[in-house]
Amino acid sequence: MEKRRFVVIGDLPVGQFNHICDVPGVLVGHYSVHSNTHHTGVTAILPHEGNIFRDKVKAGSHIFNGFGKSIGMMQIEELGTIETPILLTNTLNVGKVSDSLITYMLQDNKEIGVTTGTINPLVLECNDGRLNHIQERILSDEAVFAAINTAKKDTQQGSIGAGSGMICHGLKGGIGSSSREIIFDSQKYHVGVLVNTNFGASNSKSLLFKGRAIGEDIYNRNKTKNEDDKGSIIVVIATDIPLESRQLNRISKRAALGIARTGSFAGNGSGDIIVAFSTANRSQHFSNSCIEKYEMLRDDSLEKVFKAVVFATEEAILNSMLHSPSTTGYLTTAKSINEYQMLYQDLLMNEGDSSNEKI
């Protein structure tokens, strides 16, 4: 499938697919519901293709603004590992999706809670209640199992999976992704970001597109009422760079700068949650050794990673909107940013640009 890159952010090269799946081993799957009253779903990010409970990845996190109901963040902060697929969904379905994820993990890990410890399901959320009849909580085992079981080197973005009912800066938001490549000691590494965008003022006034304040023009055209910056954004950062949990905490913080570059100031009602993991460093659940050994990047080389996270986060947010069509849902209609393309047309890549990606 051929799809061009929409916009160039920063000066670092992107990966083959300009997607979180450029990180070797990372897979993404979606389950979507679209109807007159429901636009919702589940997005699953698998850190690798093996048994994640037995072969955990090193992880870090950052809560930039904690107006959220996610499950599993506490154990990331304490132990610095992830042991399940990372699931994204809507706010009121967090409990059901978490329960379904536990059911899924018990299939191949019969020892959980019996001969070994319990499990820490990681479920992250945004509120899609404007486009989705969220009180009906329609997502269950089927949605979770389908999202995980269909995970692949996925390039689908926009109104899909957990992004189906999201609104960003008053326009249709959803799932977006981007990646960057970095060379350390003559070896190529990857940083991939996936976002679920549901933040920003509903009047679009603060929206920035590659530094241009197009939100002012959108506001002047629509004359919608002024509304505070609220909503949520979930940012998941994946990398094959050998980083330990302290360093993953540090790169998580930099995603907030990428969010800010699109015009957000993280209002009181915004849940801005960031999770990062490294596929290079693993922690075996069952081990005969008391000592765990792993490599780590020198801290004085982290600046390239910081830069990659900021650029990829900003581009992923713009991609989430550029891939999303106008959507009418339960309580409102969210217009696509593409209806205002005249405001940023000159900032887009040309169709024939040599940097266009085949994905």
By C-alpha distance, which of 25, 326, 17, 297 is closest to 159?
326
Q: Write out the DSSP string of 66-103.
A: E----BSHHHHHHH-EE-S-EEEEEGGGHHHHHHHHHH
Which residues pair with residue 277 across a beta bridge?
Answer: 59, 238
Contact predicate 43/177, CB 8 Å: no
The residues, ordered by sequence, that sit 6+ positions from 121 with a Cβ below 8 Å of its Cβ are 71, 72, 84, 87, 98, 101, 102, 105
22 is catalytic: no
326 is catalytic: no
Rounded CA-CA distance 231/200 in Å is 7
Rounded CA-CA distance 127/129 in Å is 6
The catalytic residue among 98, 164, 178, 232 is 232
The catalytic residue among 270, 283, 320, 324 is 270
**Which residue is associated with the tokens 């040599």?**
354
272 is catalytic: yes
The catalytic residue among 272, 283, 320, 336 is 272
Report the catalytic residues.
Answer: 232, 270, 272
